[in-house]
Structures are given as C-alpha cells and as structure tokens.
Structure 1
Amino acid sequence: EAPVPSINENEILVKVAATTVTLADVRLRKADPWAVKLMNGFPSPRNKVLGQEFSGTVEAIGGAVTKFKVGDEVFGTTGMKMKTHAEYITIPETGTVLLKPENIDHPTAASTPFGAMTSLHFLRKGKTGPGKKILIYGASGNLGSAAVQLAVALGADVYGVCSGRNQELVSSLGASMVIDYEKESIGKFTDHFDIIYDTVGKSPFDLSVKALKKGGYYLRAVHFAPRVVFQGVFENLKGKVKVVGGTYFDSLAELEHICDLLSAGKLKPVIDSRFPLSRIADAHRLAESGHKRGSVVVLPSE
C-alpha cells in the first residue's frame, strides 16, 4: 500500500481506471539490454513503479490548474517518469494528457498512447504515405497493430508479418498481405519495399536490407543491441538504405492527433487480456512471452 500522492499547484491527481504492461515495462524491469540501465538509473532504478499509459478520472487539481476540473475523464502517458501501475498518479496539466473521448472506454484509451505515438513517430521518419509499400514486423502486437492502422490511414500499402494465428487479425486491421513468419521468409523479397518497420526487434537485418528499395527506410523501434547499432551505422554509410532506430519520447501534439483518430474510429486499439493490479506479475509474463495480441491491460480498481 502506498499513500495517495500529493499534488503541487500545476498538477492533477488522477484515479487510474486502466493502465497497461508494455514490452518497454518488461525491458525496464529486467534492465534488458544493458543500455536500459542508463535510461532508468544506475546502479538502482530511478523508477520502482513502472507503467507509462493510463486512463482515469481527475480526483483533485492544483490551484493553478485551468485545463482540467475534478470529475474529468482523462488519458495519456507519463513517459519515462512511469508510475502508472498504481491506483493514483499525478501529472502536470501541461503533460501528455487529454480529455478522454466520450465514445472510448478506459481500457481502450489506456491502450492507445505508447503504441500509437511510437509508431506514428517512426512512420513519419520513414515518410510513409500514398504509393509507399511498407512491411511491418510484429504486426499483431501493441506497436504493430497501431502501425498497420496508421500506415493504412496515411495511404500506404501494408504488408504485415506475424504468426499464423494472428493473420486474420492483421488482415482485419487493413493489411493487404499477411506473412506467417513460421512458414515464410521475407528473404523472397528483393528491392520490394519502401519501408520496413520492425516493432519487436526480430526482423533479420540482412534480409530486411535486401528487401528494401534503394533509398528505403529500415525503421527499428527496438534498436539497443550493440551489434544491430553497428550494422545500422554501417548500412547508413553504404547509402543504399536509411536505418532509423532508438526510442521515442511522448508528445502532446502527437497524442492530440492520435486522439482525433481514436474518436473518429480510424484507430482501434487491440486488447489481448485484462488483469487486476493484484495479478500484475501475470500481466508481465504475458507481455514478455512475445505472443500477445495488442495490449495487456491492468485495472487497478479490481
């Protein structure tokens, strides 16, 4: 049990109705790979309570707050400040937080920011748009399921890579072709794609470069392994393709764009399972398994 956090004059107190466990939470918990220690503190973690996404109700506001009022339903992300795996959180009113669309429930809203904003960031880096052909690796996961829908909304022709059991899901999200990685290899493609977006860090590097057209973009949302970093630098020097990796930090402007898509029904987050806070260890196990579909939701009030 932890006390309800106090707020300063420019913060709001949110009672969390829903949050998520993402692969980022798993990596931070395990400090895997080693570079994560630099992000979350060394030698001991800066944030002992994980979680980045949330949706809930404003319980109190600071004296200087004008954007929100008590009773407002809000959603957003705390980014690397974490702490959403709790019943209550505080966040500045200028943080990455918005009023929740009335037609969206809390679990759906909480499942949106991390996957959608991260994927939108990378898709923009790759200049995704009409006439572009994109391959999305890990298309049934949190980032991947958002990426398929966002790329379709941007006008691209989307190919998805996932397991056979998730092919129907990825097709329903708008992919024109779905590849079962257990039966097929992307090695059959040469100079075929304008963009390859790896959301899970499992795409074969050399085959991905081969499958890209000259001047194409190889986007890697998971890009911390030293070998992969060196490969990326080398490919960028060679000049055939552009390798873009790293991590992404939250943006209110991008959340506003995502919120518009969410409210209009153009983005529909996929939820795999829902757990009470008392079973958060089970939620982590599912997120870590590599076989979840979309998001793993945690409900602190249950």
Structure 2
Amino acid sequence: MTMKAIRYHAYGPPEVIELREVPRPEAGDGEVLVRVRAAAVNPGDWHLLRGSPYLLRAVSGPTRPKAHGLGADFAGRVEAVGAGVTRFGPGDEVYGCAPGSFAEYVTVRADGPVSAKPAGLTYEQAAAVPTSGLTALQALRDKGRVGAGHRVLVNGAAGGIGTFAVQLAKAYGAEVTGVCGSANVDLVRSIGADHVVDHTKADFTRTGRRYHLILDNVGNRSLSDCRRALTPDGAFIPNSGSGGRWVGPMGRIIAVNVLSWFVRHRFFTFVTRENAADLATLAGLVEAGDLTPVIDRVHPLEEVPQAIGYLERGHARGKVVVTVQPG
C-alpha cells in the first residue's frame, strides 16, 4: 500500500520539496497508525529544509538530509493499532507529534506524544496546537511558574507560540503585555492581552514597566535591554534569536546560559518535551474555553512548499496549517 507524502532529498529552498507516492507505514507493536487529516507548519520545518543553522547538520546530515519527511504536528483518526495497544482504537480522533506528518499516514507510539483530539476543534485547529502549545505551556508553567498577580510580557505575541502564550498566561491569572507589529495589535488584544506594545512605535525595554517574566519569541532586543524590563527577581526565557548561519538561535541560548551565572535575574532555556500528559492538559484548556488556536492560513498538501516559504518569511499571524486529507 502507498500514500502521498512530502519528501526532500537535498537541503535548499522550498522548491526542492516534492509530493511523492511512498510506502504506507504499518502499526508495529505498541504503535498507532493515524490517518492524518491536518498538519501544522513549524519553524523546525524550514530549518530542516535549509539545513540551517549548520550546527543542525550534525544530527540531520552533514551534506544531505538523513530523513526525508517534513512536518511534526498532526490531527486525524486512528486507522489501526499494533499489538499491545489498549489506549486507542480504530476511529478514535487524536492529535499529537510525529516526524514526517506532511503525509497521509503516520505512526506514533501509543505511549508517546499522542492524545485525544480536543472536542469542538476542527482537524486543522487541532493540528495547530501541539508543538507551539507545548512550548508555550512548558515555558510559562514549568520554567516561569506563572501565576496570579504576575506581569508577563510576550515578545512576538502574534506568532504561533506567542498567541498560545498570551492566552495561557491569562488563564494562569497573569497581567499580560503582548508585543507585536501594527497590523496585529487588534489580534493580540482580542486573544486576551491586557496591554499591547506596537514595536514599530515603542521599545518595550524602555517603557519603564517591569515584568516578572519575559517570553522572547523574537530576539530583537539585547539581553541587557531585556534585563532592564525585568523586576529584580524576574525571569527571561528566550525562544529565538540570531546567531548567524552556523549556530542560529543557539547563539542567544548559549549567551543566556553564560549570563545566568553572573546576574541576579533568572534566565532559563529549555527543550520542549513532547508528551501525552501535556497534550491532554492543552486539550482541557481548549475545552474549558481558555485556549483557542489562531490560524493564519490553510494550504492543501501539494502547497507545503508555499506554506513553509510563507512561515519562513516571518509574517504569519498564529499558525500555518496544511490540510492533508480533507473531508
């Protein structure tokens, strides 16, 4: 049996991507085979496609990619389960994380990052949640320990992670300031931000306001400038930044780790943990009305190159999603 799937065999621009017929995977022991209905685009997709920063190639392949699929987030229906799987059954609606999700079918460990799809969401909306939602959740809850009375600033509040972070911080009782461009001020306010800073008109590090936590999804201000906007015991969590073609955002993360030894402020870095428990937590927040995915645009599977190119240009409002199998 075969399926349609996105493949790339050389590093380069979106034009190197191909839609191919490939063998359909089968559910092995302890695995779930999911018929993918929708998948989301993430920055990791264009980093893998470009082989950039070059440090990434130590894992993905020095001169050409070792793996040929793209996509990480999915939503769909369970098609079949392997031996020993009791948590899911055929027909269950699920969502989660699996490499190569720009494909008609994926397999994922039943005890891995897969959970029941949030009730009331379309497949496209559900596919928008996993990676960005998990990143925002773990940054605010686990590292920032955000709670009632905290002042939280989200730099890049209109992006994929930012739109989730604004809503999650509000759900945890924080006073939230979102930083975005002029075109996105109304959007950021509509998802719950108490204050919005238009970065084309004001510098959030020079307004005189102090925050208990800054989640930085952009990396367009120096670390010393960001420290000026923190309370004395405030926390800073970088989720992006520059560092050139060799190390990319890792350059800012390395700088944060070094600086944390010498300053009073709390500087945190982390790697998002893909897991079922947090996917279930996000689903609960969606079903409680505290979290709604923001989707910029939806592309069909054959337009994955355009979808990745659009996200790479850096102007997406919320998430870019791919409909893999409509209906």
TM-score by length of 1: 0.93
The answer on 1:173 being equivalent to 2:191 is yes
Cα distance in structure 1, aligned partners of 2:134 and 2:220: 21
5 Å matches for 1:12-23?
12-23=32-43
Which residue in the other structure is 2:128 paired with?
111
Cα distance in structure 2, aligned partners of 1:191 and 1:262: 31
Match of residue 276, structure 2, among 235, 252, 256 = 252
Which residue in the other structure is 1:262 paired with?
286
Match of residue 118, structure 2, among 92, 101, 113 = 101
**Helix, strand or coil for the counterpart of 1:118?**
helix
**Helix, strand or coil for the counterpart of 1:218?**
strand
Shift of 1:190: 4.5
Match of residue 81, structure 2, among 51, 56, 61 = 61
Aligned in 2, Cα 1:26/1:202: closer, same or farther, shift over 3 Å? farther
Q: How many residues are matched?
A: 299
Match of residue 69, structure 2, among 49, 59, 78 = 49
Which residue in the other structure is 1:238 paired with?
262
The answer on 1:71 being equivalent to 2:95 is no
Shift of 1:107: 0.5
Letter of the structure 1 residue corresponding to residue 94 of structure 2: V
Cα distance in structure 1, aligned partners of 2:220 and 2:274: 24
- Comparing 20-29 with 172-181, greater Cα deviation is found at 20-29
**Helix, strand or coil for the counterpart of 1:24?**
helix
Which residue in the other structure is 1:288 paired with?
312
5 Å matches for 1:79-158?
82-124=99-141, 125-158=143-176
5 Å matches for 1:157-196?
157-190=175-208, 192-196=210-214
TM-score by length of 2: 0.86
Cα distance in structure 1, aligned partners of 2:322 and 2:250: 33
Aligned in 2, Cα 1:209/1:276: closer, same or farther, shift over 3 Å? same
Shift of 1:229: 3.6
Which residue in the other structure is 1:217 paired with?
235
8 Å Cα contact 2:257-2:269 kept in structure 1: no
Q: Which runs of 4+ in 1 moved over 4 A?
A: none
8 Å Cα contact 2:73-2:96 kept in structure 1: yes
- Comparing 216-225 with 132-141, greater Cα deviation is found at 216-225
Ranges in structure 2 where 5+ consecutive residues have no aligned partner: 1-20, 242-247
Which residue in the other structure is 1:279 paired with?
303
Aligned in 2, Cα 1:45/1:226: closer, same or farther, shift over 3 Å? same
- Comparing 23-32 with 112-121, greater Cα deviation is found at 23-32
Cα distance in structure 2, aligned partners of 1:74 and 1:203: 39
Shift of 1:99: 1.6
8 Å Cα contact 1:222-1:247 kept in structure 2: no
8 Å Cα contact 1:191-1:210 kept in structure 2: no
**Helix, strand or coil for the counterpart of 2:188?**
helix
Letter of the structure 2 residue corresponding to residue 284 of structure 1: I
Shift of 1:45: 2.7
Question: How much identity, in percent, do the aligned residues show?
Answer: 34
Cα distance in structure 2, aligned partners of 1:301 and 1:230: 41
Cα distance in structure 1, aligned partners of 2:298 and 2:159: 15
**Helix, strand or coil for the counterpart of 2:135?**
helix
- Comparing 226-235 with 179-188, greater Cα deviation is found at 226-235
Cα distance in structure 2, aligned partners of 1:117 and 1:225: 19
Shift of 1:47: 2.5
**Helix, strand or coil for the counterpart of 2:54?**
coil
- Comparing 54-63 with 150-159, greater Cα deviation is found at 54-63
Cα distance in structure 2, aligned partners of 1:22 and 1:159: 24
- Comparing 228-237 with 95-104, greater Cα deviation is found at 228-237
Which residue in the other structure is 1:30 paired with?
50
Cα distance in structure 2, aligned partners of 1:154 and 1:212: 19
